[in-house]
Amino acid sequence: MSNPTILDKIKSYKLEEIAAAKAKTSPDAMDEKARTAPPVRPFKDALLQASIQGYGLIAEIKKASPSKGLIREDFDPVALAEAYAEGGATCLSVLTDTPSFQGANEYLTQARDACDLPVLRKDFMFDPYQVAEARALGADCILIIMACLSDGEAAALEKAAAEWGMDAIIEVHNQDELTRAEALKSRLIGINNRDLNTFETTLDTSRTLARYVPEGRIIICESGLETREDLADIARYGARCFLIGETLMRADDVASATRMILSNPLTAGGM
């Protein structure tokens, strides 16, 4: 047998986490928490509106990663959310996975309470229970990662998100996953330039796959974006929405770095 990949290891501990969470808070009890959560903020619509004239930016609150280790020492979800909002971000992404990213559920709630931006729960989702949990935390959108899900699992997560009034980003990083994603209803297609099995990153992934994304879908370019020139480059391939974490998280002045990376959008005429 081949050695387990990073994704295999993540799935293994995530399924254990889900079982433990269900033992602590029953699915019915979690549904009740989700029903009493603050109203959903429009995630997809915010991106669409921002991308008409400029770019839709999902700014990520991420303390660490498996490939890079600790990213930011002075990690404060409230201050980061405020800085991103001040810098012109459209939405937030908050890592809630603990073992690989040093995230926490409370980071999402804290960040969302600190600003008016819609928030993505960035985690590895396998069970509709996690979608109710995301809504209970205040999340407005979830991530559906095709690399670690069957078609049936992905469809069940998308259905659960719709039932809670949430949006879903369908994340792909190769042609096969994109083809599978097309069977789902969500308009948000995230192209991850990072291979989640090797953690190698190249913007060529977006350059290649963007041309195959069907009309009517909104492309979100994820990972490996460092400068406003990178954004203009990828915008030429049809992506006007971006998810950026590490580059902004390492900045001394997060609001200023956010403002800078958004400062020179490629206009429609330049595409």
Q: Is 223 a catalytic residue?
A: yes
Using a 10 angstrom Cβ sphere, with 0-12 exposed, 13-18 middle and 19 or more buried, the burial of residue 28 is exposed
Which is catalytic among the residues 51, 122, 158, 206?
A: 122
Q: Is 222 a catalytic residue?
A: yes
Instruction: Using alpha carbons, select from 141, 139, 159 the residue that is nearest to residue 38.
Output: 139
Which is catalytic among the residues 93, 100, 186, 223?
A: 223
Q: Is 3 a catalytic residue?
A: no
- Is 141 strand, coil or helix? strand
Which is catalytic among the residues 17, 133, 158, 222?
A: 222
Which is catalytic among the residues 17, 133, 158, 171?
A: 171
Q: Is 60 a catalytic residue?
A: yes
Which is catalytic among the residues 14, 17, 51, 60?
A: 60
CB 217 within 8 A of CB 238: no
Task: Please list, in sequence order, all residues whose beta carbon lies within 8 angstroms of the beta carbon of residue 234, skipping any fewer than 6 positions away.
Answer: 203, 206, 207, 210, 221, 225, 242
- Is 41 strand, coil or helix? coil
Which is catalytic among the residues 51, 62, 65, 100?
A: 62
Q: Is 171 a catalytic residue?
A: yes
Q: Are strands 218-222 and 188-192 parallel, antiparallel or unpaired?
A: parallel
Which is catalytic among the residues 186, 192, 193, 206?
A: 192
Q: Is 62 a catalytic residue?
A: yes
Q: Are strands 69-70 and 64-65 parallel, antiparallel or unpaired?
A: antiparallel
Query: How far is 48 from 44, CA to CA, in rounded Å?
Result: 6
Q: Is 226 a catalytic residue?
A: no
- Residues serving a catalytic function are 60, 62, 122, 171, 192, 222-223
